[in-house]
């Protein structure tokens, strides 16, 4: 009976799981409620109000079925709620994986997971957000099963295969969490070298078998089913060599330092984000040393060097896709693995037990800094949503004016086609300078317009204004742009920026 099942389930659920789940849900809704309760489309959302998310050409073979759980419509409240529930389950899995018991540790990890900037970037593509986050949930579930059971890597590899079939960035997410787990086990639980080898062999089996299945799937799709692999992010050049290995290491170093220390390395302002990151790395160094001393790990040179090597390997793991394809370009949607760096001080705090002055100081500093990080992540997310609101309002206001101008142009008929040539400038100091200078580079939320190309205008006009125009082809656009009379036309918002030629309404926007 359902009541008996719920009673048994209640007995199974640990108090730590409840704390993690509720913390993630509460913090997640507080942080992201605005984007759940508003329509804030970006350029991709305009053409995906309803989309089955068939992304086989991008290697995301399982995105469609998992996105379909919430329907294929862009439903911010439904997709957002499911996403928070999936993130809360990821938090529960991490608490079980690392065996966290301290309340601060549990709440901190849950808060980091639901507020990390990658989540806000994913939520800017709300039409598919729940599908992507479900892929991350599968990835962490695969790791937990592998850790808990001797042969758990066998079912775990199948689950991971599904997770990476949602988004390839789940590979660095998996590998970096693996590394953090091994560091935590060595420093905190003082595992032996034999236990370490057991974990490594099982984790290797998980990753190798899962990736092998994905590679077979990729090969079948591209070869046997004649599926075209997109060139986006170098997917069509996976496995090819491009440049030296040293260039790959330089890419990792540049991307890593840009994410954490942009204000220190470039002309961009130094914000709270960079200062908190510096504090987090200081905590990592101090906590690492404190655990080496407390648990006398330093007496084993081998385990000390292994733990240090694993720590230094984390940036390479988080950006490992640079070594997979020479044309990959990392952006905010792909760096969820970096949340592990913020988790390290929490894990060190969990394992510090001796009541020394240094341990107490570290514990209080960890509490203050990590919660400051979570709060700052929430600010970054909502500044991102502010910019999404601004560019949506600016874009719809402009398209409304454009439709009005076209309708009032003499010679326009119901059969007229539309030619938009050039890009309108909707820049403002707020969206162009202030917001980008004050938050990390957020893929999806940033920018000044949601209508960069003609097909975006077409989707916005049809879905948001109920106005349908047939647009000319790209070749026709290029031919018109090359004419002398078009060159002599004045650009928008000039009254002469709209002209009807052979039943084609030509609009010259600013380049």
In a domain, 8, yes or no: no
Could you tell me what percent of the chain has a pLDDT over 70? 96
Tell me how far apart the alpha carbons of residues 379 and 423 are, in angstroms, rounded to a whole number: 31
Closest CA to 494 of 510, 482, 478: 510
Residues 447 and 498 in one domain: yes
**pLDDT exceeds cutoff 90 at 66:** yes
Query: Tell me, what's the pLDDT at 245?
Result: 85
Choosing from 341, 364, 385, the residue where a domain stops is: 385
Q: What is the mean pLDDT of residues 42-65?
A: 89
So what's the pLDDT on residue 13?
85
Are residues 416 and 442 both part of a single domain? yes
In a domain, 477, yes or no: yes
Query: What domain range includes position 181?
Result: 13-385
Mean pLDDT of 347-351: 96
| Burial annotation 83-107 (CB, 10 A radius, 16+ → b, else e) | bbbbbbbbbbbbbbbbebeeebbbb
Look at residue 59 in the predicted model and tell me its pLDDT. 84
pLDDT at 392: 95
pLDDT tens figures, 22-31: 999 999 999 9
pLDDT above 80: residue 231:
no
Reading the block at residue 211, the tokens are 């990736």
Token output for 166:
């949602």
Q: Are residues 64 and 203 in the same domain?
A: yes
Q: Is residue 414 part of a domain?
A: yes
Residue 124: what pLDDT?
Answer: 96
Instruction: Identify whether the C-beta of residue 442 lies closer than 8 Å to the C-beta of residue 120.
Output: yes
Give per-residue pLDDT as tens, 130-177.
999 999 999 999 999 999 999 999 999 999 999 999 999 999 999 999
Same domain assignment for residues 370 and 420: no
Do 65 and 112 share a structural domain?
A: yes
Last residue of a domain, one of 325, 350, 385: 385
pLDDT greater than 60 at residue 232 = no
- Give the model's pLDDT for residue 31: 97
pLDDT in tens, 119-131: 999 999 999 999 9
Q: Looking at residue 16, what is its pLDDT?
A: 95
Distance in angstroms (rounded) separating the CA atoms of residues 310 and 186: 10
Q: Where do we find the tokens 């689950």?
A: 159
Average pLDDT value for residue range 62-88: 95
Please check the confidence at residue 239 and state whether its pLDDT lies above 60. no
Specify whether 38 is located in the same domain as 112. yes
Asked if pLDDT for residue 10 goes beyond 80, the answer is no
Q: Is residue 2 part of a domain?
A: no
Report which DSSP code applies to 222. Answer: I
For the chain, how many structural domains are there in total? 2
Q: What is the pLDDT of residues 204-221, one digit of tens each?
A: 999 999 999 998 988 888
**Rounded alpha-carbon distances, angstroms, from residue 125 to 72, 75, 316, 462:** 13, 11, 27, 20
pTM: 0.94
Q: Which of 56, 122, 43 is nearest to 84 (CA)?
A: 122
Where residue 3 falls among pLDDT bands split at 50, 70, 90?
Answer: confident
* 5 lies in some domain: no
Six-digit token pair at 267?
A: 């002309």
Q: Is the dihedral of CA 225, 131, 42, 465 positive or negative?
A: positive
Quote the CA–CA distance of 338 and 245 in Å, as a whole number. 22
Alpha helices in 15-116 (DSSP H): 15-36, 43-46, 63-67, 76-98, 103-115
Among 362, 385, 408, where does a domain finish? 385
**pLDDT for position 54:** 86
Q: Look at 425 and 145; give whichever has higher pLDDT.
A: 145
Residue 202: band (very low, low, confident or very high) from pLDDT cuts 50, 70, 90: very high
- Domain shared by 257 and 315, yes or no: yes
The mean pLDDT value of the chain amounts to 92
Q: What is the average pLDDT across 102-126?
A: 97
Judge whether 436 lies within some domain. yes
């Amino acid at each position: 009976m359902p009541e008996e099942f719920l009673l048994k389930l209640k007995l199974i659920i640990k108090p730590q799981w409840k704390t993690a789940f509720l913390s993630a849900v509460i913090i997640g809704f507080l942080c992201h409620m605005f984007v759940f309760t508003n329509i804030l489309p970006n350029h991709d959302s305009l053409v995906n109000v309803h989309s089955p998310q068939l992304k086989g050409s991008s290697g995301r073979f399982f995105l469609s079925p998992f996105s379909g759980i919430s329907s294929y419509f862009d439903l911010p409240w439904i997709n957002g709620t499911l996403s928070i529930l999936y993130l809360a389950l990821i938090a529960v899995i991490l608490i079980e994986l690392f065996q966290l018991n301290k309340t601060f540790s549990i709440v901190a990890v849950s808060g980091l997971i639901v507020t990390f900037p990658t989540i806000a970037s994913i939520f800017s593509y709300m039409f598919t957000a729940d599908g992507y986050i479900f892929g991350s949930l599968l990835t962490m579930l695969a790791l937990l099963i592998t850790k808990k059971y001797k042969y758990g890597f066998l079912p775990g590899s199948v689950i991971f295969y599904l997770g990476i079939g949602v988004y390839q960035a789940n590979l660095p997410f998996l590998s970096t969490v693996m590394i953090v787990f091994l560091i935590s086990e060595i420093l905190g639980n003082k595992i032996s070298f034999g236990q370490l080898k057991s974990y490594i062999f099982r984790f290797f089996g998980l990753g190798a078998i899962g990736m092998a299945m994905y590679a077979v799937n990729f090969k079948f799709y591209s070869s046997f089913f004649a599926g075209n692999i997109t060139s986006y992010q170098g997917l069509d050049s996976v496995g090819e060599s491009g440049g030296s290995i040293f260039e790959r290491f330089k890419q990792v170093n540049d991307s890593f330092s840009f994410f954490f220390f942009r204000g220190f390395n470039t002309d961009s302002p130094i914000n709270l984000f960079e200062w908190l990151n510096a504090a987090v790395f200081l905590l990592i160094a101090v906590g690492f040393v404190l655990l080496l001393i407390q648990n006398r790990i330093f007496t084993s040179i081998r385990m000390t060097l292994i733990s240090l090597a694993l720590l230094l390997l984390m940036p390479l793991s988080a950006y490992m896709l640079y070594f997979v394809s020479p044309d990959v370009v990392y952006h905010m949607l792909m760096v969820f693995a970096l949340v592990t760096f913020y988790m390290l001080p929490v894990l060190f705090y969990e394992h510090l037990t001796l009541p020394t002055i240094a341990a107490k100081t570290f514990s209080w500093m960890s509490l203050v800094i990590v919660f400051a990080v979570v709060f700052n992540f929430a600010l970054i997310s909502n500044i991102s949503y502010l910019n999404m609101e601004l560019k949506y309002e600016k874009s719809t206001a402009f398209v409304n004016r454009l439709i009005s101008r076209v309708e009032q142009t003499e010679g326009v008929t119901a059969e007229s086609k539309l030619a938009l040539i050039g890009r309108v400038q909707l820049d403002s100091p707020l969206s162009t300078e202030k917001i980008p200078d004050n938050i990390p580079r957020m893929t999806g939320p940033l920018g000044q317009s949601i209508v960069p190309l003609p097909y975006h205008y077409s989707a916005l006009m049809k879905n948001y204004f109920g106005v349908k125009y047939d647009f000319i082809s790209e070749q026709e656009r290029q031919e018109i742009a090359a004419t002398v009379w078009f060159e002599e036309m004045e650009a928008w918002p000039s009254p002469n920026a709209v002209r009807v030629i052979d039943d084609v309404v030509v609009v010259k926007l600013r380049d």
